[in-house]
Amino acid sequence: MSPVLDFVKTLHPQRTWEEMTPQFYLTFWSLSMSDLQVPEIAYKRRVEELEVEMAQIDDRKELTAAKKRKEKEKIHIIIDKLREELFKQKEHVERVRARLDIEREHWFKNRNKTKAETITEFLQLCIFPRCLLSEIDALYCAHFIRVIHDLVTPNFSTIICYDRLFSDISYSLASCSENEAIRYGRFLESLLEIVMSWHGDKNKFDK
């Protein structure tokens, strides 16, 4: 990964990397939502739909017994594949999380800049550009901030990060197109959902 990191260093002035490391920048931009979260609810919903569909096959009088059995087998195969895919996705997310847990120690250096300056840099170079790209990127950005928090990342302040994001929303939206503003709104909505989950759980809030 060294050649890639060397390239990343050329993307911004050297002073950029005094606090936020190239490794962190590369990690942020190279991951996707599927690396951080497993859509278990979506998988469960689809399996339930297929199970209902399979149960209704017996009521289809136009089908012969052999045809009904064949249709059920097809659905069984799809369900098994979905469950296998879910299992593999969980394993993948766990591996990524383990990697991030190791990397987090080297993401922010805490040398010359204050935490507020580091957060500003993080938002300007990572969050703001990416959360405007698409709705899934907006969700990714919100979830990535949560991951940084959950990992108790050294030299990163979640409070300062949230304060910066919500202190002057109008300024952030000033140069956005209509579609970008919608995506940014989805990003903020997702952040608020996270905050409310903390607020409703004393243990999460204390952390």
Domain that holds residue 166: 111-206
- The pLDDT of residue 113 is 67
Looking up tokens 């991030």 gives: 100
Q: Is residue 12 part of a domain?
A: no
Query: pLDDT tens for residues 24-52?
Result: 999 999 999 999 999 999 999 999 999 99
- What sign results for the dihedral spanned by CA atoms 129, 132, 137, 138? positive
Q: Is residue 4 part of a domain?
A: no
For the whole model, what pTM was predicted?
0.84
Task: Give the number of other CB atoms < 10 A from CB of residue 4.
Answer: 12
Q: Is residue 137 part of a domain?
A: yes
Q: Is 168 left (phi over 0), alpha (psi -120 to 50) or beta?
A: beta
Q: Is residue 19 part of a domain?
A: no
Query: pLDDT tens for residues 145-202?
Result: 999 999 999 999 999 999 988 887 765 677 788 899 999 999 999 999 888 877 666 5
Q: Is residue 186 part of a domain?
A: yes
Q: 73-89 burial string, b = 16+ CB within 10 Å, else e?
A: eeeeeebeebeeebeeb
Rounded distance between C-alpha atoms, residue 158 and residue 186, angstroms: 19
Tokens, residue 62:
């136009």
Rounded distance between C-alpha atoms, residue 129 and residue 141, angstroms: 10
Q: Is residue 75 part of a domain?
A: no
Q: Is residue 155 part of a domain?
A: yes
- The pLDDT of residue 112 is 64
Q: How many domains does the chain have?
A: 1
